[in-house]
Structure 1
Amino acid sequence: MRSIRPLLRFVVALLLLVSSSAAAWAQGKPEIDIRISPTNYPPVIAVRGVLAEKPFDEMVRSGFPARLHVRAELWSEGRWFDDVNGRAEWDIIVRYDVIDRSYEVVRRVAGAITSLGSYTRFADARAAMELAFAPALPSPPRGKKSYVLVQAELQSLQVSDLDELDRWLRGEAAPAVQGKRSPASALTRGVRTLASRLLGGEVRRLEARSPSTLF
């Protein structure tokens, strides 16, 4: 029974999150900050305010990591049409370690995972997720005006992603050996699968564009 109670709290937090976060995003609280200039390249990008709702803390503490997927594209202005010159994508993930009672924050770029720290407070973990990042974008063409288009999505982690992240954080190089799970473990996985589907249908999206700059 004790193992089921945290799952029930998680389900309640999840339902609150799905019902409340859409309204919060509609109010324009989250934002994307893009800093770019001829002397400041590659651009520095920060996504802020995406985990401001309280239910996110409950969701993460219940064992369901949150993932922020960001895509940045470099565009150059043309006479008739604008051209895309390159793009970069990365994920920022926060999860709660029940044993250490801490929040782990990582950045994943092209399959490589970099730790952004471990924190005892959710507010500090959220601040780590909002740290500015300079993606590896190609150099803009000379003599043309260019701009950066950034799209951010707050997504659910698929079950396979959860397993991969757990293995990396435990230092395991190979996939875990499949075996029989306890009923509580099976229930936990089932709830996480349900959460993945619920949040997957409620993806939050942001988009921002930098001013055009002559390089």
Structure 2
Amino acid sequence: MTSKRSLVRRGAAVAAAGTAALVLAACGGSGDDPAGHDGHTSTSASATASASASQGRHNAADVAFAQGMIPHHRQAVEMAELAPDRARSTEVKRLAADIKKAQDPEIRTLSGWLASWGEEVPAEGAVDHSVHGAGGMMTAEDMEKLEKASGAAFDTAFMEMMIEHHEGAVAMAKTEQADGSHAPAKEMAGRIISSQTAEIEKMNELLGRG
């Protein structure tokens, strides 16, 4: 009898141990099971990749391009807005309207990129007029001269200044194409190079330089 009781107790103990092992295994599977972790990691990686894809990869050159082109475009738009009341040439008025139409939306797009990257968006009016020729930017004196001009004098001054301004933008865009990594920014740079080079040629033709 003693032997039988001992065997029964031993069997019960083994059964209990087996049950405990199964419970522990089940718990381990929910937290430490490789498949479970892989599933979680894969989901996180997919979410990260998706977020990254929506923003697009960018580098310092992309940031510099956006931060430099925003005030550059703003000044071009400021110059273009003077044309309707001051220009004599219909061609100059049309050219100014095209410049404003193209560059206003690009300013918004560039600002959106910087905001999504957590970078500073140049403030309105943040145009550095101090150095003539820096990126083709006009000085305060240049802008004052343009504002005071009218008729044929305005047409000539506008085109001469805008050619220089466009040349600065084209140079900035070429730098972005060479050094940037954000695909949409490089595509915009390509459009700027194409459209503004064509406008430079048109203005040179109108000035009799073609």
Q: TM-score, normalised by structure 2?
A: 0.30
Structure with the bigger RCO (C-alpha within 8 Å, sep 6+) is: 1
Larger radius of gyration: 2
Which structure carries more helix by proportion? 2
Q: TM-score, normalised by structure 1?
A: 0.29
Which structure carries more strand by proportion? 1
